Every structure is written in C-alpha cells, then in structure tokens.
Structure 1
C-alpha cells in the first residue's frame, strides 16, 4: 500500500514538473490536496485512472492544458467584490496615495491574479472617479497579471454580459460601459491604461515600485512555505508607503512584521519598510542590523545579477556539497530546491553533460581553471545544444579557495559558427584557387574587352551618325504626317462628296422613267432601277448578282445575247433594239433597248448598260400616222406641207406629185407662190399673214397652178397654219376646180341662151 502511494506521489510530481516545463507554470507551491483534487476532476472527465496516464494524455493532446488550467486556476471574480472593502479603499487608501504622489507623479497599481479583468477595471473606475478620465489616463498605470491565458484574453476584450455587471453601480455603468448587442464593453480610453500579462507570482520576478497591490484570494491556495516566498515578493514590489489589498479569507498578515493593518476587517495593509537578504536557495528573509542590511542589499543585487544571467552557475563547497544554483542552471539541469545542500556527486549534473567530479578535483588540487569546450547536451523534449563548461576555484578574502564555481555557457551558436567557418575556410581556399585561375582568364578577357571597346567606339560613332539620319528622317516623317493629315482630310471631303454624288445618282436613276440595268463583264446584274422593278416585278435585291440572261422575266433576254457580246468585244454601242415583251401585269409592251458599254478610265468595257424605254404608245402612233400617210398619199386631193418661213414644199402626197408634174425632190426647191402665175411672193405673204398671226384659222382662195409644161389649171386652196408644232408648218389642200368652172360656164351660157 505504501509502495502504491509512493508511486502515485512520484507520478503526480512528474506531472507537475511536465506542466512547468511545457507551459512554464509552477504548481509546486500550491496546496497539494487542493491541487490533486482539481487535477483528478479533469482526469475523471477525460477518463484517465492515474497521474501517469493523464501525463501521457497531456503529451498526446496539448489542447487539454487549457481545460486543466481553467480547472486548477479558479477564476472567481466580479466588479467591486466585497463592496464594503472597496468603500474603505476609496475613503482611506486612494486619498493617501494621491496626497503622497502630488499632482504630477505617476501612480502604479498591480492586480495579481486578475482573472477576466473585473478587478483591474474596478480599480480604473475608482481612480477615474477621483481624478477624472483625462488625468487618470495621464498618471495611472495598472498592471494586471494572471497565469490563465484564456482569462487574460477575455480581460483584454473587456466585454461582459448583463449578469457580469450587476454589481457595477448604475452611474458607473452608464459612464464607463457601452452597451452593444446586449453586452457591455468597458471604455476604450481607460482600457488603454490597463496592461495585461502572464505572470507567476511564485517564480517570476515581481513588478517593482507599486503604490497599490491587490492580491485577493490567491494566498489561500498556496502552501505555507510558498506563502513565505510570495509575501516577501509582494512586500518587495511595493514602494515604502505602498498598500496591499487581500481577500476576506486571507489572514496571513494579521501578525506580520512586513505589513501593518490599515483596515483589518477589509484586509487592507500598509507596507512596513524592511531590509531583505536572500538565502542560498533564493528566498528572501529579514536582515537583523544596519550592517547586515547593507551587506544583504549588496548580496541581493549580486544574486539578482547572477539570476538574470543567461549563463548557468553552480557552486560546490569544499565538502563537495552543492550550495548554489542560479535560475538558468536550475532550469537547464532540473535542479530543484531540495537539491541545494546535497552532495554534488549524487546529482545527475555531476556526469551530464560530461564527467565533472574529476574536473572539480583537478581544480582543487592544482588550483587552476579548467575549460571544457562544446559538450553536447540534450534536455528531454528540447533541441540539442552545445555547452562550454568552465570550472574555476572561488577564493576567500585570505586568498584560500573555499568553493568551486561551475559556469555553463551555451555555445551552440559559436560551435555552429566554428563549423561553418571551417567549411567556409575550405570553400575560401578553393575559391582563392578559382580566383587565381579566373584572374588569368580576366586578363585575357580584359584584352578582348579593350579590342571590343575600340569596336564599340567605332560603332558608337556610326550610331551617332545613324541617330542624326533618324532625326532627319523623323522630321521628314513629321512633314509627311502633316501632308497625310491634309490628304486624309481631303479624302474625307471627297468621300463625303462621293457619297453625295452617289445618293444624287441613285435619286436620278430612281426618278428616270426608263429602265436602267447595269451588267458587269460577266453579264451579271449590278444595278436595277425602280422602273425595272415596277415593269418586270423583281426587286433590285432579288436580281443583284444574278446572270441577266438567266432571268425569267417578260423580256426575251436571249435576243440580247448577241448585242451584249458585240458591246463587250467592240467596246462600242450598238444600234437600239426594239423587242416585244410582257410586263408583270401580263400587258404587251414594246421596248426600245439602247445598249452601251460600261467604260472606265482605261476605256475598256467592264460591262454593259441597258436603257429600256416603253415605246408601245409611240409605236401605235407611228403605225397610225403611217396609216394616215397611206390614206393621204393615195388621196386624189393634193396635200402640200410648206415651210412656214420660205413657203417651200416640204412634203406632198402622191396626187400632188402627179398633178403638179414635179417630183418631191424638185418640189423641195420650189415655193408654192412660184407655181402661181397670178400671185407674187409679196401678195402671197399678205394672203397668209392672217394665218401666221393667228387672226384666222383657215384661208380659202381660188388661184391657178402652172405645170412644168406651162399649162395652168384652176385650183381652190384651203390653208391652215400649225405654229405650235416644231418646226411650225403651213398645210395647204388643193382641189382642182376645172370641172366646176366648166359646169358653171355651161350654166351661164344656158341662161344666156334662154334669155
């Protein structure tokens, strides 16, 4: 049973050491029963039945440290906890601190075990109420420390729920908190004056020059021996007239010589100035006299210097007992408080990292310093390092050695540098040889470079000349660019004019009352005007690009194949062609088609232009005129068409030619009055003048006409003038009245005979 208990104690001690090494938290000063109870609570929750099993669980699950610390470090706190004690603080302590500090001196406050920040923020509100926010921010600095990182993180955010701020008086809540989303955030300006940090009051150096130190409900969790370490640290941290504020359950200072009560019920104490000396184990104790105080002060200073050194120091007295180990050596070699005073040869450090017992004997025997360079050393769970160990005698005032000092220097970096230097040295030698070879090559290269330099100078001159040419060319290009801009503007203007001409031409083509079809040299339709669309029933879009001779329209296009071929071959127009066709309405039309070559500047035919005119009406008129001409030509009456200016014959019918006795060609040289013996030109002009002036529409007269054989015959002339025609023409109808005159003469004779 005893063996099992011892194993459990050993496992628990190993677990606590692992926590210290892994997280830097030393629980060795806490009350063992309370500490074991809280650790076992976590063991039950994760299912571990022994400290060794929980030790292994922590190594496998580092995140478990957070839950363990939250369980061990009970963060029970609130704003203005124990309100009566805070009232005493406000009435008794704060005025004394302000009076002592005056108007300008800084005020330093330390909240030990601050948990989630309620206590330091309560202090901030209390001092801000007295000083005002601006003066508080200028003068007051509050240090808030704890071991629990999670609690510190919560404190830094300064965000609390409604239940957390129930103990805050309403005026202070409104003045120093901002309510956001049902949470209360402490005022940012005051929050900047509170500095949160991780600190172990048992093992870490205390913050100094503190005017007010609050350490409530922490000492009750510590063993008496640990309390004996912590209280002197708190005393040391305070200024001579500083104040200490403890929890209600903490009665450790009721009969202490280090503090005197200000208000014992509220656990508020004032520091009693003391002189301290530090024991070989590192703890503080009171000095007995003034000389001892002075010596103790020097020793404390020396020990502080040694403790803060990055070099590990061990001291072994003449009896071979370890009498001193500074902080660095303790951490490096796991030297515990109980190891001080033990024989050195019983400790692991006596043979790790190297055998030191013989070296200590050597120093004692020969009274000289021994140095051991770059010994490898590895701590469990840490990176390997190199230690240089110096073993030196320590002398008393009478010059006799009374102890041996072992100094452990971490020369890992130096060792690594030496290794690197050796490598670099070898590399340097190789480099020197390479440089010598390179130097020779460089000399050769230098000669080549000189030659190249000369070539470059020549090239540079050529480039300068080229540059001048380029500048000249650039000027020319600028001039050309300006000309191009002018030309571009002119082309734009021409383009606009061309567009206008094109629109003008298209308007003309649409307006012309004849069909115009443009073909290329392959007789493909290029243009097809509106007249063609209306007559043939096909739009320009439908025929553009189509072969003209393949179009199925009312026009017999195949009859135009030969004329079109002649145009392309001869480059000259052909005679117009009249073709009978059928328009889109089924009406017969007669088209007169003029075909011309499409000529470009080179005078070569690139196609053909067809101008189609509907001459159906004119053809019918011509036929009718021809019909009338035939009738008039066969008429027995004489019909004369005379020039209105000269009265010469222009045209006569067949009956006129026969009765006048002249051919048409001969008559065209003769005027009508030349065949009238009784009428000269003047008389004839007077006769027709009423016609010419428009006074009369018709003149009828009887006269005689002389034939080529000089025979005459009587005729009745009926003349009309057509002045609106072009050219104006005089028309005369001649009727032979010889028979009528004969009948009239016979009648006259008969009348005479009858009478």
Structure 2
C-alpha cells in the first residue's frame, strides 16, 4: 500500500538510453520491496511507438510502476516512468510534465536532474545508466554540488558507455557500480540516513567529535585543506555519504581506510568542496546589479582607470563570466570605456581548470538568452565556449579565502553562498578579509541566505537587503584578527642546510692579487661562454654595478657602460680564436688623463687547450708611466675589431633574412590552402554533426523499441510453448481451422475421430 511522500524522503532519478532496459531490470530486480523512497525513470523513448517499459519493469519488481501524468504526486515505494515525447521536472512533491519542444535541446535527463538537485538537495540521488550521447552529465554534476549523491553504471556492465563516461571524467561522481551494486548502495544510503536522523533525535551522533577531528586531521595532512571551521551538519552529511559508498561498516574502519587510500581522501575533499553555480543565477539580482550598482561604480572611476572585480569561490567560472558579460553590456550602454580586470579564485584546482577553458555544455541555453549566446559565446558541437575578448578579462587563480585577503583595492567583490557552510568565527574572519580587499565605497555581494553578523555590520551600508548587496563605509576599519588555527595543524621543522666548506686558501687570493698588482685598482672575474659571472675574485676597481630588481649576472649588463664594447669584443675573439686576448690603452671618461685600463681575457685552464666552459676576465687600472707593452699586447682599436665582428654578423643576418622570407612565403601559401580546406571541413563537419545527432537519437529510440520487442517475443515464445504443451497433453479432440476452412492444427485425440495424418 502506498504512503504519502515525506518532505525529507529521498527521490532517486534514473537516466538511461540505449541499453538501459537491461540495466533497469537488474537494478529494480535487486531492490527490496520497501526501499522507502520514490524512483523517477527518464528513458529516451521514441514518440512514434507505444512503450512497453511499464509492463516489462513491473515483472521485475514488487514496487508500483506507472506512467507519469501531469502533476502526479509522489508516493513512497513507487516507480514513475516518463512517457514518450515529454519532459518532466520536480516541483515540491509533484512531477510536472511538459511537451518536448522539437527545436529545443533534447536532454530530458538533464532537465529532470537539474530540477531534482534544486528541489531535494541532499535528499537527491542521481543514477546514470547505459546510453549514448552526453545527456545527464550536467544534471549529475548539479546533484553532486547540491549535496546529493551522483552514481553511474560501470563501463564493464554498460552496453553503451557514452552516457556514463563524461561524468566520470569530470571527477564529480561519487561511485561507479554495476546495476545490482547501485541498488544496494541506494538502500544503504537511505537506511543509514534514517538511522542517523533517529539517533540525532536522542542526541547520539553517528560521528563523534573526536573521530570527526581525526578525519579532518587526515584531510589537513594529505590535502592541505582545513575544514575544521565548517558547519558540522555539512561535514557529517558529506562524510557519511563517503563512508557508505566506501563499503565499510564503522567510522573506525573508514578512518583506517582514509589512512591507506589517498584516492578516498581526495574524493572526500572533493565532496566537501561544494561548487553549485550557473550562469546568471538569480536573474533579478543581475537586474539590480546592472541598474543600481555597476553604473555607479563606473561613474566614480577616473578616465582610463580599470574596474577591478574579485569573484571568490568561483567554482567552474560561470559567475565570473556572467559578471564580465554584465559589465560589458553596461559599458556599451553608458559609453564609459574602462579596462576591466576580474580575478576569480577557488581552492578546487579541477574546477579552475574547467573555468579557464571557458567551455560549457549546451544546457546553458536555459540560463543564457539567445542574444547573449550569439554575442558572447561560440558554439562548438554540443558545447559553447566563451569568446576570447571576455575570457581575457578574467584571471583564474588558486586561493584560500580563509587565510589571506589575496587582493586589494577591489571595486566589487562577490562571495555568494560560501559563508552558509562556515561556522560564525570563520564567517567573521572571511568578512573582515573581504572588507580589507575592498576599495573605499567598494561593493560586496553575499548570498541571499547570508548576513554580515553583528561584529561587521557597522562597516557596510546596505544597498539591497533582499539580495545582500553592501557598500563599504569610508571611515570604518575592521581589525584583521589572527587566523583561526585548526588543532590538526602541526609545526613542521625545516631541515637545516649544511654549511658549505670553504677552502683555507680562498682567503689568500686577495694577498696574491696585491703582490701581483700592488695598489692598482683591479677587477678579476670568472665567466662562462655566455658571459654569466661564475665567481668574483677581486673588485677593487669598482667596475661592477648591480642594478635594482631581479639579479642579473651577465658581465655586459653590470660592467661600466664604456667597457661593454671592449669586453664584448675580447670575449668574442677569445672564443673564436681559442687563445688569450690582451688590450691596453682603453680610455675611460671617468678616469684622469694619464690613466687607462688594460684588459686580459683568457682560458681558465693553464697550459691546456682553450676551455669551452669558462674564461677569466681581468681589468687593471694603470698609468702611462707604469705601462710596458709585451710583444703579444694589442692596443684596443674598436674600429678594426668591431668592423670584423659587424661584417660577420651582417652576413649571418642577410642569410637569415633570405631564409625567413622564403619560409614566410611558403607559410602564407600553405596557410591560404589550409584556411580554404578548414572552411570546407567546418561546413562538412557541421552537416555531419547534425546528421549524426539525428541518427543517434533515432538509433536510441529504435534500440529501446527493439529491446521491448525482444522482451515481448520471448513472452510470446513462452506462451506458445505453454499452449503446445497443453494441446499435446489434452484428451479432447480439437481441430483448428482458418477462414478458408483449411486445417491449421489438431490435437492427437482428434486422429481417433478423423483420418488425419500429421505432415
């Protein structure tokens, strides 16, 4: 007997396509008679054929199986089948039918799963079975992000693997099981949740505080994620789901399972990172932003000043791109041209990867109107990609909002539906960090169910109480309290760096140079063949100047500008001729008239062939009276040395230009041919894709009809066998005639009356 459906009851949505009949029969055949929940099956069916799904499934289960009618009320222990040519959505405790539009995107599974996630949240279970196409992927993600359970059929047991495949790769699936195991998992979840509810009524939690602390400590150590200040209800619910799906019986067993299974720790962290988002969520909020908030922000900007926006906890990026589109529309309306820079952050690296690509399933047509789709998106098969001029305005980065502000002087900060998962101390800390990030009179947007709290409310003016839009006061500062530390955190001792041992003879180098050069200023360096300084032996000549900023160790960048040409030429000749180079009489403007520089560049290895690794550069300041020229000494003549080097470089440049011009011409020709070919391929691909989608839809429908007919044929064969056995065993003589009075068949007893011979 059916019962009224409770508000806290589970609703299980099941999506299937080609090959789904066998999976559905196995699933419902494994359920107990009283699962205490309702099941809604959304199967791709052809509107041109009568479906036999109700009759076929009713043979496999004791649950009541019926076709959905408009405004059908849910009942416990019932299975509701979607009729052909319709879509269904959940509203409250009723199922609403709509006629499927021919021009609309044909994703009935997604349509129901999205409404299921919105209406039932953590009491929703979505299951995706065998089928082709991508229907159900976005809906399953929505169920997971809303706190529900997302399950898919394993690839090994699915006849068609296309539908269960994409959700698995997204990382938002709780478990991958066979149909029989899916049925047992659903029953375990419902039974365990009911037990938890009954124990909560007598204040006996299934997850004690000390065991919860152990689990959070494992998350902190292995995933560097601190959830200690999240609300207990969210933590209990999510951890309980993972415990059930891990097939362990107790919390202690689950803790041991976490310690030995890093993948499960990652899955648990992913479950706790709730990322529910979509384009232009809450349309009325966006109307308020475009009429009351954004125009005022643009008016207060100086000419050419960029508009800076921060979207915290951005998940997969839909809200960040929505803001970019909304700002672009207002800039065009007001004709106030300002650069726009939007910073979008999250701690979920997988979600950030999806966001940075800017590609979303075509189910976004429910949230983005046709005009915006045409102007801001590029269709790509079964997906839409945000256009490049919008994507370049958004910078995605990993950032933990609970630890530091991250940004400053922001004109608008959006932090929607994140505080609701945090305990009050952490909420207060996050609001203070957001307040610090805002520029004077900057705007803060929270979720509709969130508030500033008593400590921080005086620091903001309320713009819209319903949509929780606030403006930062000019004259109020909130002290940033010390970060809340989790008990799971432990100080980590850094390993001590071993001290490098210096040779006792290194200290003698200065004395040796003094004996050789006396009091004359000298600079001596060891450089590699690229001019990078490896070691500085002496710099009493003070010829090295290290500029501010990033350290640069190239000798030509830090030596005195007047010496760049002679040093560069000497290094070039030393490498080319494989011998030492000595220049004298190098005049420097900063030296007095009788003084000049001597330059020596040679191999770092003595009495050996020229080394390919390092060179010694020695610069000595001398007076004319001290100078005595050895036979190998050369006066530095920049004209002759540079002219030879320039001729070599010019020849190389000329050859490079010729090769480059030839390559450019070949590339241009090839590019034109590829563009023409690409246009033809794009046109052909669009036609093939459209044809493929039609054939795929027809194939799914025909496969389902064929599966139903196979079931009916098996029933007819069984019935025919039963009749044959009955006729063979009866003692009554019976003769069967057709319309022409020809004998069709007879029983063995009839041969005793008539002279019949079988043949």
Q: Which structure is richer in relative contact order (CA contacts within 8 A, separation 6 or more)?
A: 2
Q: Which interval holds the TM-score relative to the shorter structure?
A: 0.3 to 0.5
State TM-score, norm by structure 2.
Answer: 0.37
**Based on CA coordinates, which of the two structures has the bigger radius of gyration?**
1
The structure with the greater share of residues assigned to helix is 1
